[in-house]
Chains A and B, each alone.
Chain A
Amino acid sequence: MKQTLSLIFLLCTFPTLSAAQFGIYQHGSVVRMHMGDCMPANHGFMMAFGSPAAPVSQGSCPEYTLVSPNVVYVIVGKMSNQLIPLAEVIDFRLQKNELAVRVDDAKHESKFVIKEMIVRSEWDRIKRHIDEQMKAAEVREAER
């Protein structure tokens, strides 16, 4: 009985442990967060061609902008209280069209729906453009 329980425990913890041990986590930083509309769990391809969509969670869900060295992800939580620890650097990995974030203190992963993906260089360019516009608006405001 003990052996069976140990085996079950190992099987349950294996995905997280192995991911950590084999270093398959990518690193990124959350730069933006707001509460937005919730998304159905099986959106995108599965929603278009699969069975009827799962009901969308009522209320609002947290939406994060996660910046990694090469790609910027906009991810949405599945529940209103699904939070990411907002440390300077967080570990995440892509898993079956979802993004799994490693929650350090809880030693588990939290899965998020990927809403958008953009190449980092393109995101930097857009951000620079917005910053310039903001500064120009500030200067105009100051000159009035």
Chain B
Amino acid sequence: MDKFLGTLLLCSWLVRLLVPFFLVTVIYPHDLLEQYSAHSQPSQDFTYHSSVSEVRLVFFATDEHNRSVQELQSDDFAVIDNSWVIRNFRSFTRAGLVKLDVIVLIDSSESVLPRFHQEIADVLELVSQWPWEPGDKVSILSFSGMEVNVVCAGNCRSWFTADRAASLPSGGATPLFDAVMVATNFLTQRRQPDVWPVIILFSDGDDTISKASFKGILKKILANEEQIYTVDLGGPGRPSNGTAILQKMAEDSGGRCVPLSDGPVKILNDVMDDLHSGLLVTYALPDSSSEFHSIRILPTHNLNLQFRCRRGYYYHRSGSARQEDGP
């Protein structure tokens, strides 16, 4: 009897000892154990990759009097992305566009010579009056004949004077599209995420000799995410083909087109207004089989609100997330 009781006590003791061990090995998650063992071993360097498809869109809102809207809320507008209506945004803030990389393109070809002096005077005034910030860059390129000339790169605030402007080559054909292509490449080469690339183009819009096509540069502008402000040097009167080209370039990029008669102050004010009133919205990339996504912004309640943004963006499925537009 004593022997039986002793065996029973021994069994009971063994069960008490083994049950917790059994429970730990069965219930404890296998991957946690693995993780624990991984921690105990010398650490290895792992890199985790994840693609996040998000669209970033800078836009401008105005009321029926063409004044910028200060109190816009995220439920006041919807984005139409490749025909899909998007109302759920990941973020909505002021764009905070602070640093600028500006290229001023001066048309000095034969067709604008009658207004060339006014054009140069306007560029000089624009560069001198602009409230440049320390990190801002301004470059000036001129184009005529077969060439695009870099007048000054990045430091034109002090460099570009009336004397130097007088020595610019002038006359000949108009390689407008080639000049825009050079400017977009120029900006792309030194692109930084917190810098807003802007092209201010002074021209009559009549290209006569470029190798690049109009369609090609429109695609380039959208792909490179630059904003173009055009100053129409064409004569007053009925709208010309050149005016239509300048308007199309400006509208597609989310910029504006103004006639030369408005003067440099108007151009300056337009760009400065945009800098202060720019809004940034981000949203998840909608499904689409096409590389190009057309964009439009429309009001959700007040149909008097007007929105201006670039016409679209390119998304390359094989690549990583592509920013649509950025300051």
- Smallest beta-carbon distance B281→chain A, Å: 14
A127 to B179, CA, bound (A): 45
**Does B118 interact with chain A (Cβ within 8 Å)?**
no
* Interface status of B83 (Cβ within 8 A of chain A): yes
A116 at the interface (CB under 8 A from B): no
Q: Does B244 contact A (CB under 8 A)?
A: no
Give the CA-CA distance A105 to B76 in the complex, in Å.
Answer: 12
Please, which residues of chain A bring their CB within 8 A of the CB of B302? 85, 105
Q: How far is the CA of A85 from the CA of B77 in the complex (A)?
A: 9
Given contacts A33-B80, A83-B298, A137 and B289 within 8 Å (CB-CB): yes
* Contact mask for chain A residues 131-144; partner B; CB cutoff 8 A; 1 contact, 0 none: 10010011001001
Tell me whether B87 and A86 are in contact (CB under 8 A).
yes
Chain A residues near B238 (CB, 8 Å)? none
| Chain B hits for A30, CB < 8 A | 85
Q: How large is the interface on A (under 10, 10 to 19, 20 to 34, 35 or more residues)?
A: 20 to 34
Of B78, B287, B318, the residue contacting A86 (CB under 8 A) is: B78
Encode A17-58 as 1/0 by CB contact (under 8 A) with B: 000000000000011111000000000000000000000000
Contacts between the two chains (Cβ within 8 Å), count = 47
Contact B318 A34 (CB under 8 A): no
> Which bracket fits the contact residues of B?
10 to 19
Distance A134 CA – B289 CA, assembled complex (angstroms) = 7
> Which residues of chain A have C-beta atoms less than 8 A from B84's C-beta?
31-32
Is the CB–CB distance between B87 and A88 below 8 Å? yes
The answer to whether A106 and B303 have CB atoms under 8 Å apart is yes
Minimum-distance CB pairs A-B, first 9: A34-B83, A86-B78, A87-B300, A134-B287, A32-B83, A86-B300, A105-B302, A33-B80, A85-B301
24 inter-chain pairs at a CB distance below 8 angstroms, sorted by A residue, are A30-B85, A31-B84, A31-B85, A32-B83, A33-B80, A33-B83, A33-B85, A34-B80, A83-B298, A85-B299, A85-B301, A85-B303, A86-B298, A86-B300, A87-B300, A87-B301, A88-B75, A88-B87, A88-B300, A103-B303, A105-B301, A131-B287, A134-B287, A144-B318
Question: Residues of A with Cβ closer than 8 Å to B?
Answer: 30-34, 83, 85-88, 103-106, 131, 134, 137-138, 141, 144
